[in-house]
Protein backbone atom coordinates (compact mmCIF):
# COMPACT_ATOMS: atom_id res chain seq x y z
CA UNK A 1 0.00 0.00 0.00
CA UNK A 2 2.80 2.44 0.91
CA UNK A 3 6.27 2.47 -0.63
CA UNK A 4 8.91 4.87 0.68
CA UNK A 5 12.04 4.59 -1.45
CA UNK A 6 15.43 6.13 -0.69
CA UNK A 7 14.00 9.21 1.04
CA UNK A 8 16.42 11.85 2.30
CA UNK A 9 15.86 15.22 3.95
CA UNK A 10 18.19 17.65 5.69
CA UNK A 11 17.66 20.69 7.88
CA UNK A 12 20.65 22.95 7.45
CA UNK A 13 23.66 20.69 7.94
CA UNK A 14 21.69 17.99 9.77
CA UNK A 15 20.52 15.00 7.74
CA UNK A 16 17.24 13.99 9.40
CA UNK A 17 16.52 11.07 7.05
CA UNK A 18 19.25 9.25 5.16
CA UNK A 19 18.25 6.80 2.40
CA UNK A 20 15.12 5.53 4.16
CA UNK A 21 13.06 2.84 2.41
CA UNK A 22 9.92 1.33 3.94
CA UNK A 23 7.18 -0.91 2.56
CA UNK A 24 3.79 -1.15 4.28
CA UNK A 25 1.52 -4.02 3.24
CA UNK A 26 -2.21 -3.47 2.89
CA UNK A 27 -4.21 -4.74 5.87
CA UNK A 28 -1.22 -4.78 8.23
CA UNK A 29 -0.07 -2.91 11.32
CA UNK A 30 3.46 -1.63 10.83
CA UNK A 31 5.39 0.26 13.49
CA UNK A 32 8.26 2.72 13.37
CA UNK A 33 10.52 2.89 16.42
CA UNK A 34 13.81 4.45 17.39
CA UNK A 35 15.36 6.82 19.93
CA UNK A 36 14.26 10.43 20.27
CA UNK A 37 15.50 12.38 17.26
CA UNK A 38 15.71 9.30 15.05
CA UNK A 39 13.54 10.92 12.37
CA UNK A 40 10.23 9.11 12.94
CA UNK A 41 7.87 12.10 12.90
CA UNK A 42 9.93 13.66 10.12
CA UNK A 43 9.23 10.59 7.98
CA UNK A 44 5.50 10.84 8.73
CA UNK A 45 5.61 14.50 7.73
CA UNK A 46 7.27 13.59 4.43
CA UNK A 47 4.63 10.92 3.75
CA UNK A 48 1.77 13.33 4.44
CA UNK A 49 3.26 16.19 2.43
CA UNK A 50 3.98 18.50 5.36
CA UNK A 51 7.68 18.31 4.49
CA UNK A 52 9.15 17.84 1.02
CA UNK A 53 11.96 15.33 0.75
CA UNK A 54 15.28 16.35 -0.81
CA UNK A 55 15.49 12.97 -2.55
CA UNK A 56 13.52 9.77 -2.88
CA UNK A 57 9.97 8.78 -3.78
CA UNK A 58 6.79 8.09 -1.80
CA UNK A 59 4.14 5.97 -3.51
CA UNK A 60 0.66 5.21 -2.20
CA UNK A 61 -1.35 2.49 -3.93
CA UNK A 62 1.13 2.65 -6.78
CA UNK A 63 0.77 6.40 -7.30
CA UNK A 64 3.64 8.84 -6.79
CA UNK A 65 2.53 11.26 -4.04
CA UNK A 66 5.96 12.73 -3.32
CA UNK A 67 5.09 16.23 -4.52
CA UNK A 68 1.43 16.34 -3.53
CA UNK A 69 0.15 18.78 -0.92
CA UNK A 70 -1.23 17.55 2.41
CA UNK A 71 -4.88 18.01 1.44
CA UNK A 72 -4.30 16.06 -1.78
CA UNK A 73 -2.67 13.22 0.15
CA UNK A 74 -5.59 13.21 2.59
CA UNK A 75 -8.01 12.97 -0.33
CA UNK A 76 -5.97 10.08 -1.72
CA UNK A 77 -6.68 8.11 1.47
CA UNK A 78 -3.98 8.82 4.08
CA UNK A 79 -4.93 10.22 7.50
CA UNK A 80 -2.72 11.09 10.45
CA UNK A 81 -3.09 11.61 14.17
CA UNK A 82 -0.73 13.94 15.99
CA UNK A 83 1.78 13.52 18.79
CA UNK A 84 0.67 16.83 20.29
CA UNK A 85 -2.98 17.76 20.76
CA UNK A 86 -4.41 18.96 17.47
CA UNK A 87 -8.15 19.06 18.11
CA UNK A 88 -10.41 22.11 17.97
CA UNK A 89 -10.42 22.82 21.73
CA UNK A 90 -13.59 24.91 21.86
CA UNK A 91 -15.72 22.53 19.81
CA UNK A 92 -17.49 19.44 21.11
CA UNK A 93 -16.40 15.87 20.51
CA UNK A 94 -19.17 15.50 17.94
CA UNK A 95 -18.17 18.67 16.10
CA UNK A 96 -14.49 17.70 16.01
CA UNK A 97 -15.20 14.31 14.47
CA UNK A 98 -17.80 15.69 12.07
CA UNK A 99 -15.21 18.15 10.76
CA UNK A 100 -13.30 15.25 9.24
CA UNK A 101 -16.15 14.72 6.76
CA UNK A 102 -15.88 18.21 5.31
CA UNK A 103 -13.63 17.01 2.50
CA UNK A 104 -16.48 14.88 1.11
CA UNK A 105 -19.71 16.01 -0.55
CA UNK A 106 -22.10 14.33 1.90
CA UNK A 107 -25.64 15.17 2.88
CA UNK A 108 -26.17 16.48 6.39
CA UNK A 109 -28.03 13.27 7.26
CA UNK A 110 -25.19 11.06 6.03
CA UNK A 111 -22.57 13.15 7.82
CA UNK A 112 -24.53 12.87 11.07
CA UNK A 113 -24.98 9.12 10.66
CA UNK A 114 -21.33 8.44 10.01
CA UNK A 115 -20.23 10.69 12.87
CA UNK A 116 -22.42 8.69 15.24
CA UNK A 117 -20.88 5.46 13.90
CA UNK A 118 -17.38 6.68 14.77
CA UNK A 119 -18.50 7.86 18.21
CA UNK A 120 -19.89 4.38 18.85
CA UNK A 121 -16.77 2.65 17.51
CA UNK A 122 -14.47 4.64 19.80
CA UNK A 123 -16.71 4.58 22.88
CA UNK A 124 -17.30 8.33 22.78
CA UNK A 125 -21.06 8.38 22.32
CA UNK A 126 -21.75 9.54 25.90
CA UNK A 127 -19.24 12.39 25.49
CA UNK A 128 -20.47 13.65 22.14
CA UNK A 129 -21.56 17.02 23.57
CA UNK A 130 -18.46 17.53 25.74
CA UNK A 131 -16.15 20.39 24.78
CA UNK A 132 -12.83 18.81 23.82
CA UNK A 133 -10.74 21.04 26.09
CA UNK A 134 -12.50 19.42 29.06
CA UNK A 135 -11.55 15.87 28.10
CA UNK A 136 -8.91 13.69 29.78
CA UNK A 137 -5.88 12.70 27.65
CA UNK A 138 -7.25 9.33 26.47
CA UNK A 139 -10.51 10.74 25.17
CA UNK A 140 -8.70 13.64 23.53
CA UNK A 141 -6.51 11.19 21.64
CA UNK A 142 -9.56 9.18 20.59
CA UNK A 143 -11.18 12.33 19.23
CA UNK A 144 -8.07 12.92 17.12
CA UNK A 145 -8.34 9.33 15.87
CA UNK A 146 -12.05 9.76 15.23
CA UNK A 147 -11.49 12.82 13.08
CA UNK A 148 -8.86 10.90 11.10
CA UNK A 149 -11.35 8.07 10.56
CA UNK A 150 -13.91 10.59 9.34
CA UNK A 151 -11.70 11.36 6.33
CA UNK A 152 -12.39 7.80 5.08
CA UNK A 153 -8.74 6.75 5.01
CA UNK A 154 -7.25 3.57 3.67
CA UNK A 155 -4.00 4.14 5.60
CA UNK A 156 -3.86 5.70 9.08
CA UNK A 157 -0.61 7.10 10.47
CA UNK A 158 -0.60 7.12 14.28
CA UNK A 159 2.07 9.36 15.82
CA UNK A 160 2.50 8.31 19.46
CA UNK A 161 -1.20 7.62 19.96
CA UNK A 162 -0.46 5.85 23.25
CA UNK A 163 2.10 8.37 24.50
CA UNK A 164 1.48 9.56 28.06
CA UNK A 165 -1.35 7.14 28.80
CA UNK A 166 -1.82 4.85 31.80
CA UNK A 167 -1.28 1.08 31.29
CA UNK A 168 -5.01 0.29 31.22
CA UNK A 169 -5.58 3.13 28.74
CA UNK A 170 -2.73 1.86 26.58
CA UNK A 171 -4.31 -1.60 26.48
CA UNK A 172 -7.61 -0.02 25.45
CA UNK A 173 -5.97 1.86 22.57
CA UNK A 174 -4.18 -1.32 21.47
CA UNK A 175 -7.55 -3.10 21.32
CA UNK A 176 -8.92 -0.29 19.14
CA UNK A 177 -5.91 -0.40 16.80
CA UNK A 178 -6.24 -4.16 16.38
CA UNK A 179 -9.97 -3.77 15.76
CA UNK A 180 -9.33 -1.18 13.07
CA UNK A 181 -6.93 -3.57 11.35
CA UNK A 182 -9.61 -6.26 11.47
CA UNK A 183 -12.07 -3.79 9.92
CA UNK A 184 -9.80 -3.37 6.90
CA UNK A 185 -7.71 -0.34 7.78
CA UNK A 186 -3.95 -0.35 7.28
CA UNK A 187 -2.04 1.13 10.23
CA UNK A 188 1.44 2.68 10.35
CA UNK A 189 2.29 3.78 13.88
CA UNK A 190 5.11 5.46 15.79
CA UNK A 191 5.70 4.33 19.35
CA UNK A 192 8.22 4.25 22.17
CA UNK A 193 6.68 1.74 24.56
CA UNK A 194 7.78 -1.71 23.48
CA UNK A 195 5.06 -3.90 24.96
CA UNK A 196 2.17 -2.33 23.00
CA UNK A 197 4.32 -2.10 19.87
CA UNK A 198 5.21 -5.79 20.11
CA UNK A 199 1.60 -6.70 20.83
CA UNK A 200 0.05 -4.92 17.87
CA UNK A 201 2.67 -5.01 15.10
CA UNK A 202 2.91 -7.29 12.13
CA UNK A 203 6.18 -5.64 11.09
CA UNK A 204 8.52 -3.16 12.75
CA UNK A 205 10.98 -0.70 11.21
CA UNK A 206 13.79 0.85 13.26
CA UNK A 207 15.47 4.21 12.67
CA UNK A 208 18.56 5.54 14.40
CA UNK A 209 19.87 9.05 13.66
CA UNK A 210 17.82 9.16 10.48
CA UNK A 211 19.12 5.84 9.15
CA UNK A 212 17.21 2.55 8.87
CA UNK A 213 19.00 -0.11 10.91
CA UNK A 214 16.51 -3.00 11.03
CA UNK A 215 13.12 -4.30 9.95
CA UNK A 216 11.26 -7.49 10.71
CA UNK A 217 8.66 -9.19 12.83
CA UNK A 218 8.36 -8.31 16.53
CA UNK A 219 10.37 -11.41 17.45
CA UNK A 220 13.11 -10.58 14.95
CA UNK A 221 13.35 -7.01 16.23
CA UNK A 222 13.33 -8.16 19.85
CA UNK A 223 16.51 -10.17 19.26
CA UNK A 224 18.26 -7.94 16.72
CA UNK A 225 21.72 -6.92 18.07
CA UNK A 226 21.73 -3.53 16.33
CA UNK A 227 18.33 -2.67 17.78
CA UNK A 228 19.30 -3.81 21.24
CA UNK A 229 22.40 -1.66 21.09
CA UNK A 230 20.62 1.55 20.07
CA UNK A 231 17.22 1.29 21.69
CA UNK A 232 15.66 -1.78 23.24
CA UNK A 233 18.51 -2.37 25.67
CA UNK A 234 17.67 0.91 27.36
CA UNK A 235 13.99 -0.02 27.58
CA UNK A 236 14.78 -3.27 29.37
CA UNK A 237 16.98 -1.75 32.06
**Residue 149, Cβ density class (10 Å: 0-12 exposed, 13-18 middle, ≥19 buried):** buried
Kindly give the confidence (pLDDT) of every residue in the chain, 237 residues in length, as a single tens digit, with 9 standing for 90 and above: 999 999 999 998 899 999 999 999 999 999 999 988 899 999 999 999 999 999 999 999 999 999 999 999 999 999 999 876 778 899 999 999 999 988 777 888 988 999 999 999 999 999 999 999 999 999 999 999 999 999 999 999 999 998 888 999 999 999 999 999 999 999 999 988 889 999 999 999 999 999 999 999 999 998 898 888 876 544 444
Rounded distance between C-alpha atoms, residue 48 and residue 79, angstroms: 8
Residue 1 · residue 173 · CB < 8 Å: no
Specify the CATH number for 2-77+153-236; select among 3.40.50.300, 3.40.50.150, 3.30.1360.120, 3.30.460.80: 3.40.50.300
Q: Give me the residue spans of the domains in the chain.
A: 2-77+153-236, 88-152
Which pTM does this prediction carry? 0.91
Amino acid sequence: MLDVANVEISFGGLKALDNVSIHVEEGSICSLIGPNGAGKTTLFNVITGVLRADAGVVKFLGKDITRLRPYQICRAGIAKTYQLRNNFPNLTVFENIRSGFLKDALTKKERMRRTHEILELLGLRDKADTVVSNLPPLDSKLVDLGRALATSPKLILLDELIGGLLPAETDHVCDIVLDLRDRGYTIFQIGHEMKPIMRTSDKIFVLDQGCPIAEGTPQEIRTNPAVLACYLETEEE
